[in-house]
Amino acid sequence: MSAKKSLPRGALARAEKILAALQDRYPRPATHLEADNAWELLVATVLAAQCTDARVNTVTPELFRRWPGPAELALATQEELESVIRSTGFYHSKARNLLGAAQRVVSVYGGEVPPRLDELITLPGVARKTANVVLFGAFGINEGLAVDTHVKRISYRLGLTAHTDPVDIEHDLMRLFPRAEWGDVNHRMVWFGRDVCHARSPRCAECEMADFCPRREPPKGK
């Protein structure tokens, strides 16, 4: 697997500095998605694909009012669900996946979201990133490290990885950061990506990591 190749030179030393800097900047990291349990977090994370957390948070209250859990959602129609989640974008596929996930949670897992990565990724619409978010956010389990667009960009820019595939990046980050920090590293990088390390115009003058950041950019299209 390509993820087993050598890390970029100096990556381990940079990772230690990066972790300290992110901990100082964000001492109490958390997700921006509003959810009260594992099912709600799973739904919100699926809806957040190609959509802002703020937008998702305007949609989920009505969704959970109408269908409080997987048992209720499993009985909804595609059209009913689409009408509620339309503003999150890609609502046809999101509705199809959420209905499939609800039905599988009910039929296979007794109505409870399973606290295992290998079981979570059998749910429609749930890949490793979503599974890692749910495992840490709902169960406090660090099985892996969620790699979204912010984590992917920042990891490459800071020289923590030479990969562009999210799974390969995840494996690199898991080698660089203590397991107990994986979930919080994701949250901190997401916040940092939104506040400072923007995709097009990073605010390097405001970044405490500017002195040791190699400012690497992935190949175009990656």
Structure tokens at 216: 């690497």
Helix (H) or strand (E) holding 46: helix 38-47
168 is catalytic: no
- Measure the N-to-C terminal CA separation of the chain; round to a whole number of Å: 18
Integer Cα distance of 130 and 121 in angstroms: 8
Given 4, 17, 36, 148, the catalytic residue: 148
Q: Which residues contact 21 (CB under 8 A, 6 or more apart)?
A: 208, 209
Q: Which residues contact 165 (CB under 8 A, 6 or more apart)?
A: 2
Given 94, 129, 152, 168, the catalytic residue: 129
211 is catalytic: no
Catalytic positions, written as ranges: 129, 148
